[in-house]
Structure 1
């Protein structure tokens, strides 16, 4: 066996503090991508100015969810966070089902984002040099880069993501200041008014907005690598939710002023300017071409940061499931530095296969150069976001189940009331996503994909629950270990 590879029951610990984990969470949500791409699309498609207050509502609701979630993190430290929480809160079969849904959802998010990354880099290079690079060639290069970072120490990823996130925040803050100073129509606080919560279209706004927060739940995934998992995970989760919620609300408010609230509500956004052009068009007019070029580069690095963050999450889920023999044991291996190399390589190979299939098949090529965004990105990221919302709703119930089985000094608010509120809200958002799925997919009318993609999330989960229940009779030793993780986080067996 290689001298730099370990077979262990835990990834390396004590490298990550609250700032590092918070940055990786925020990187997954990709601030610049959300503001320049997500918020602009939400305004364009919904025609509602309630997007800013929608982010506030979502942040509050997810903050309530995080109360019970963070409380469980003090008792369960496992790289397969959702999987372990469901197994110990709702039973082992449910844990297996959740693990499959998590793998599908996170892979959908990570691989789907590659479609946006490939297009943006290819388009930017072509615009500046005239040299056209196929989007899939760009993606393959980034798969290698991400894979290399994934098999190295996690604090290397944290440092890289930290720099990229800081630059994203800086450029969006500059945009916000200019937008507030130069409103297209007149200055108004209506977009952040609570009254907008009760206007038509709020359901679609929330369905769009929830994707901006995807990744905030990742803190628990890094529990085994946190300096103090009992405190670090909870603090990073609440910090990330607070920062993301406030930042997105303020930035989308500034964006609404840059576009014009009357233009948004009156359906005045043309198809040619819908989406990112709303952001970059304003920046070009008021900040200059050089600034727009800088923003374009940072938009690319924002997407890359999201890819890296979701890659890390998938690698740790694969590690956790390999360690507990739900996947081949070899996938539970880590390097001497503690990186889950087998999980990282597996995710990279899977991404490569999907990208090649899309490229060879030319899936969606009838849409022109934008087809990797319209197909790969749109299809998979919306499917992944749907899966993560479903998982969070299930985990809210897991909190109740866990503290019923393991009563301690937690308050009724933590173990019962907040999880119920979170479940009701998340279940409602899940229904809204399903109901508005063709809108989220930007489909002019419902077609087979409207139904097939949601099933890609649900069916594997159901199969996982059935498989998990069957393990009790077929592999009782595996069944007993489901969701238990490493019995001793400091026990590492390193090969010679």
Structure 2
């Protein structure tokens, strides 16, 4: 409340997100941090090597190339869609409101699944680090609950605060991987450096399909660049640049790191080393080529890598919830923005409460934090985000057929159609190899796979209800904001 010169009180201005806070690098930090490069490399890449052999690095390059093709149409459409709804706004423009509302619900559930499951990983990763460094055995639940509070506070603060935190954590986790790669390159690997990983005969093997499934999963969340449009500086340029920067960096970085680890053991020996103890592959390599102190740092940075991923997804979820509250689909209270920090703090609080409920439920059931909380909650979220990418790719040419524009056919038709085919292939690969992601029974895997389509179907039903009972909300869904 302010006071005028005449002594009259005037109501406070409505709080808004901090526009112009984020540059290209800031948005890229959010996206790359969500992918958790160190965790993906140390925790998942050994399995990709075990299944795909020395040709595993190419799987990451192919996944990155596919998503770069998707980004062509996606970023072209971003110049025409200014809504804060990200995926669902794009899908609504191209495929209509019912599909858009279904996509909105799928996005909300998918991103929540991607984040909440990772609290199990935070607990198990911290347990492993404490045991490796101090020989201590810590319970995972207090660690996960402490993480919920810490991430909740990070989301409560301003977006530029989060960008600074993620910048520091991202430099730490990528830096330790660069240190490992540098040690291997300087010492020439186990038997000299080899380019056998890129020979067709080592790439076109039966295990490549499984490698591609892991590789696509390693990029999950890269499309969230558009979520930060309202807080970006010059979003017409910043958002596309951040998208290409994130995809390009992840694809090349993943492939390079996996290749250097293969060189650390040798082309002939890497499969055996990965099969013997996949969880220790990266730690063994960095101990051999850099030193035990670096392995200790890697243990610590895996924990901070998980925290960075949690904060990045938390911020993305809050902005999705904010957009849907502003649409009238979610309760209006979730659309409140902090007057000082410019953050969607009520949405953040709701997300933290939801995460706490899920974590406590799994703990009460005696679930394993990694094998069940992480994998069983993450997997439907991952599939949901893949479906959103596919729908967004299909929406691009449909949108540009209906509007007047000066964009080229390569960007509006060729690239998005190619991306849709490639993404559909990726979804088939992931579903066909779902047991590699979850280690669960066929019944559990079936439930995990059908969850995302079921959520989308529920979204279609929600659209039908809105059209009948709240026609104004339905008619204004994903409308362009006023200039």
- Band the TM-score falls in, shorter-chain normalisation: over 0.9
1:412 aligns with 2:409: yes
* Alignment partner, residue 327 of structure 1: 330
**1:404–1:160 CA distance, 2 compared to 1 (3 A):** same
**1:26–1:451 CA distance, 2 compared to 1 (3 A):** same
CA distance in 2, matches of 1:192, 1:335: 51
* Partner residue of 2:391 out of 391, 394, 407: 394
1:469 aligns with 2:464: yes
* Alignment partner, residue 494 of structure 1: none
Q: What is the TM-score of this pair, normalised by structure 2?
A: 0.93
Given that 2:66 and 2:419 are in contact with CA atoms closer than 8 Å, whether structure 1 keeps it comes out as: yes
* Partner residue of 2:82 out of 69, 77, 81: 77
Structure 1 segment 55-454 matched on structure 2, within 5 A: 55-180=60-185, 181-265=187-271, 269-271=274-276, 273-274=277-278, 276-336=279-339, 337-363=341-367, 371-443=368-440, 446-454=441-449
Deviations 1:441-470 (A, max 9, x none): 234xx4211100111111010110122133
* Partner residue of 2:478 out of 483, 487, 494: 483
**1:5–1:16 CA distance, 2 compared to 1 (3 A):** farther
**1:203–1:7 CA distance, 2 compared to 1 (3 A):** farther
Shift of 1:357: 0.7
Shift of 1:256: 1.6
**1:168–1:332 CA distance, 2 compared to 1 (3 A):** same
Given that 1:111 and 1:351 are in contact with CA atoms closer than 8 Å, whether structure 2 keeps it comes out as: yes
Given that 2:46 and 2:274 are in contact with CA atoms closer than 8 Å, whether structure 1 keeps it comes out as: no
CA distance in 1, matches of 2:239, 2:197: 33
Shift of 1:197: 4.1
Given that 1:113 and 1:381 are in contact with CA atoms closer than 8 Å, whether structure 2 keeps it comes out as: yes
Unaligned 5+ segments in structure 2 are 2-9
* Alignment partner, residue 25 of structure 2: 19
Deviations 1:163-201 (A, max 9, x none): 111122211111012223342345321213355443222
Given that 1:100 and 1:464 are in contact with CA atoms closer than 8 Å, whether structure 2 keeps it comes out as: yes
SS of match in other structure, 1:213: coil
Alignment length, in residue pairs? 473
Shift of 1:49: 2.4
* Alignment partner, residue 53 of structure 1: 58
**1:163–1:461 CA distance, 2 compared to 1 (3 A):** same
Given that 2:117 and 2:373 are in contact with CA atoms closer than 8 Å, whether structure 1 keeps it comes out as: yes
Given that 2:68 and 2:247 are in contact with CA atoms closer than 8 Å, whether structure 1 keeps it comes out as: yes
CA distance in 2, matches of 1:252, 1:129: 29
Deviations 1:391-419 (A, max 9, x none): 10110011112111222000101111100
**1:431–1:5 CA distance, 2 compared to 1 (3 A):** farther
CA distance in 2, matches of 1:438, 1:397: 28
Deviations 1:448-496 (A, max 9, x none): 11100111111010110122133222211100121126334xxxxxxxx
**1:195–1:62 CA distance, 2 compared to 1 (3 A):** farther
CA distance in 2, matches of 1:393, 1:165: 28
**1:50–1:79 CA distance, 2 compared to 1 (3 A):** farther
SS of match in other structure, 2:269: helix
CA distance in 1, matches of 2:312, 2:345: 15
Q: What is the TM-score of this pair, normalised by structure 1?
A: 0.91
Given that 2:35 and 2:219 are in contact with CA atoms closer than 8 Å, whether structure 1 keeps it comes out as: yes
SS of match in other structure, 1:49: helix
